[in-house]
Amino acid sequence: MTEQRVSLKIENDIAFVNLSRAEKRNAIDMAMFRAIDKVSQQLRKNREIRAVIVQGNGEDFCSGLDVKSVLKDKSAATALLAKWLPWRANMAQRVSHNWRRIPVPIIMVIQGRCWGGGMQIALGADFRFATPDASFSIMEGKWGLIPDMGGNLALRELVSKDIALKLTITAEVVPARLALDYGLITGISEEPFQTALQLAAQISERSPDAVAAVKKLFHRNWFKSEGSMLARESYYQIKLLLGQNQKRTVKKQLKPEDNIDYVTRKRW
């Protein structure tokens, strides 16, 4: 990938994405912005994968924006913030938002610092597992800014408004235990990568169409009206019932001794 900022490997239908700038604590420069954008868009088009596990090489998941590097690039602000339509994600926002658009679960494995832009990347996932010594911060307020990398979409779903305000205004660094209490992360593990692998294996046992439908149902309708949620439930259910994978799931449950594989996931 671009300047080796991000690596991608796919094994047994699981995609493994690594932030590969350990010598800089995986701080995000323009090359990493572009690499994450490219990899996440590539994974969105892949109909064979069943889950994605994202981790950072070295001591930290991601320490945030590489401020010095980005400021040196005179075209960086334009490249990051430009968008044709206000309601569409720009490049800065896509490093978080793109994970939400991939129709398989995204699992973040977090160690060390998960600050600023790193926190925004992690918020784009469906699940976040951290080591006991990991720390988290919505750090943009330290620089007189607001978080504008798309993570607010997930933040409003995960924590109460007063906690979101407190974390964002103060830019405080919180330990893993407190992050778990707040709802920022899914769980704490001494071996979060193994925890992520176990969850990915569980997900792989389920119909890929049903998994994709649930993710889209929740992400697209969590804060919409009751009518919208009810309508989408019915629509997705009918679509599932017409598909081959639902029928294969029934056979798999009735005859677990048979080796029944799922067919390629539908486009959701």
Give the domain ranges of the chain.
2-203, 207-254
127 phi and psi, to 5 degrees?
-140, 145
**What is d(CA 172, CA 146) in angstroms, rounded to the nearest whole number?**
14
| H-run or E-run covering 137 | strand 135-137
pLDDT of residue 106: 98
The 3-state DSSP composition of the chain as helix, strand, coil percent (nearest 5) reads: 50, 15, 35
pLDDT given at position 31: 94
Pairing of strands 135-137, 187-188: unpaired
Read off φ and ψ for residue 110, nearest 5 degrees: -120, 130
Q: What is the 3-state secondary structure (H, E, C) of 86-124?
A: CCCCCHHHHHHHHHHHCCCCEEEEECCEEECHHHHHHHC
Look at residue 221 in the predicted model and tell me its pLDDT.
Answer: 94
207-254 and 2-203 share a CATH fold: no
Tokens in use for 223?
């804060």
The pLDDT value recorded for residue 69 is 82
**How remote is the C-alpha of 171 from its chain's centroid?**
21
Which pLDDT score, from 0 to 100, does residue 1 have? 42
| Fold designation for 2-203 | 2-enoyl-CoA Hydratase; Chain A, domain 1 (3.90.226)
pLDDT attached to residue 2: 44
Q: Which of 93, 65, 67 is nearest to 80 (CA)?
A: 93
Sheet holding 187-188, edge to edge: 6-11, 14-19, 51-56, 106-110, 127-130, 187-188
Do 249 and 210 touch, CB atoms closer than 8 A? Answer: yes
Angle, alpha carbons 170-130-133 (nearest 5°): 70
Low-confidence ranges of the chain (pLDDT < 70): 1-3
How far is the C-alpha of 9 from the C-alpha of 157, rounded, in Å?
A: 30
pLDDT score, position 3: 58
Residue 75 has a pLDDT of: 81
pLDDT in the model for residue 38 = 96
Q: Which fold has domain 207-254?
A: Lyase 2-enoyl-coa Hydratase; Chain  A, domain 2 (1.10.12)
Query: pLDDT value at position 79?
Result: 87
